[in-house]
Amino acid sequence: MKIPVKIIEFADGDKKIQEVMIDLIDTIGLDGDPGKKLSSFRKKYFALVKKAQKIMPKDKSKRKTSHFWKIGKLLYDFNKSIENEFEITNYQQAVIRDFGLYESWLPRILKIGEFFTKNDISDNVPFSHYHELIDKIPILEKSSFGKEKKRLLKRAKDDTLPTTKEYRKELNALVKSKKRVSVRRT
C-alpha cells in the first residue's frame, strides 16, 4: 500500500514553513514505523528541492535547456525512488511551487528527464524545440525518436536550427510520413 502524503507550505509570522503531512487514518495497517518513513520521505524531498534550487536560476531569462533537463532528471529519479512507497497527493501543486516551474511545462520537464540523456541536450537548442519533440514521443517509433534527437543536435552544431514553429511543421510532416508508411504495411 502506498502512503499518501501532502507537501504543504504555510506562514508562521514572517517565515514560510514547508512540511509533509499524512492523515492518521492512513498510518493504520502500515508495516514498520510510519513516523520514520515520513521522516525519511521528508528528508529526501526537501534535499531534492535544495538541489533543484541550486540548479535553476531564479532569473528566468538565465534558464537554459540543460537546467530543465537536470530538474527533469532529478524529478524522474526521485519519482522512481518513491513510486512503490509514497503517493504525493498534491504532486503538481507542490512541485510547481517548490521548483518554480510553469504548470504547463511540468509534464514536459518530467519527460525530458525520462527520455533524454545528458548527451542528448544542448543549450544551443531552445527548450521549446525539445518541447515540440517531447509532444511527439507517443507517435514516433523509438528509432525515429532517437534519430530526431541526433538530428536536432547536429542542426544546433551546424547552426541550421529552424524556428520553433518551423520545427513543429517538420515534426508534423515526419509523423504524417510515418503514419502513411504504417498504413501501407497493414
- What is the value of pTM for the model shown? 0.86
End-to-end CA distance of the chain: 43
Mean pLDDT of 49-78: 94
Summarize pLDDT for 94-120 with one digit per residue, the tens. 999 999 888 988 999 999 999 999 999
Domain ranges of the chain: 1-100, 122-186
Summarize pLDDT for 115-124 with one digit per residue, the tens. 999 999 999 9
